[in-house]
Each structure stands twice: as C-alpha cells, then as structure tokens.
Structure 1
Amino acid sequence: MSPNTSKFTLRIDQQTLEKFRYIADNNFRTVNKELEMIIKAHIATYEAKNGEIKIDLNTK
C-alpha cells in the first residue's frame, strides 16, 4: 500500500456486499477497486456540476 493510501471501514449488510462483489467480479476488479472507481466517478460528476473541490492534505 502506498503512503498516500488510506484505510476506511465500510459497514454494509451481507446481501448488498455479495451483490457488489458479483458486480466487481464481473468487471474483473476487486471490491476495493470497484468501490474506488465508483467514488472517483461520483466526485468527477459532482465537480463537473459544482466546481473543483479543493483539499489541502497538509492540514489533515
């Protein structure tokens, strides 16, 4: 894991996770990579409508 990678715990019911795992497998991705792709797409959509979100990682 690179130094810029953060861990995040997700609480989700088993049925939803298994369905999501099915989708990830169908897309030849891990569950983690599938979720990362969806999050990045959501951020891109949001920023396209509302402008870039500016984050200063040095203050976190």
Structure 2
Amino acid sequence: MAIQSNPYPLRVEKSIMDKFKVIAKENGRSVNKEIEALMKSTITEYEKTNGTISVPDSALNHNAETQ
C-alpha cells in the first residue's frame, strides 16, 4: 500500500498529547503511526457493523495527484 501524504493539522490539549506520546512510545510507534493505527482500527470496527465504506473515485484521484 502506498503511503499518501495528507497533512491534517491536529489541535489537542497538551495533557492529552503528552499521554498519547507515552502510549505511542510503549507501542513502539511514532505519534503519527499511532494515530494511523487508531484510524485503521476504528475503520475496521465501523465496517464490521456498517459494511464497507465506499470512497468516491474523485477522492482517490485527488490522493494520487498529491503524491
């Protein structure tokens, strides 16, 4: 799977980020990779209940253009 750059500014309380950094470190991941792992887990659980999420072709084409 290709890694796609899709920067998204994240505003979060410092105390939450500090705790999240500890979790990421304990899991052997960067904060970015920990966020990605959580997103994948959330998507998997959502799709188990609600079915596969369809992503419009226009969104896929946009991601390919930004690489």
Instruction: Classify the TM-score, shorter chain.
Output: 0.7 to 0.9
The change in CA–CA distance for 1:22 and 1:4 in structure 2 (over 3 A counts) is same
Q: Which has the higher contact order (CA 8 A, sep 6+)?
A: 2
* SS of match in other structure, 1:46: helix
Within the alignment, does 1:18 sit opposite 2:18 as a pair?
Answer: yes
The change in CA–CA distance for 1:25 and 1:14 in structure 2 (over 3 A counts) is same
Extract unaligned runs of 5+ from structure 2: none
TM-score by length of 1: 0.87
Runs of 4+ with deviation above 6 angstroms = none
The change in CA–CA distance for 1:41 and 1:3 in structure 2 (over 3 A counts) is closer
**Number of residues of Structure 1 aligned to a counterpart in Structure 2:** 59
- 1:11 and 1:5 map into 2 onto residues whose CA distance is 19
- 1:12 and 1:29 map into 2 onto residues whose CA distance is 19
The change in CA–CA distance for 1:16 and 1:29 in structure 2 (over 3 A counts) is same
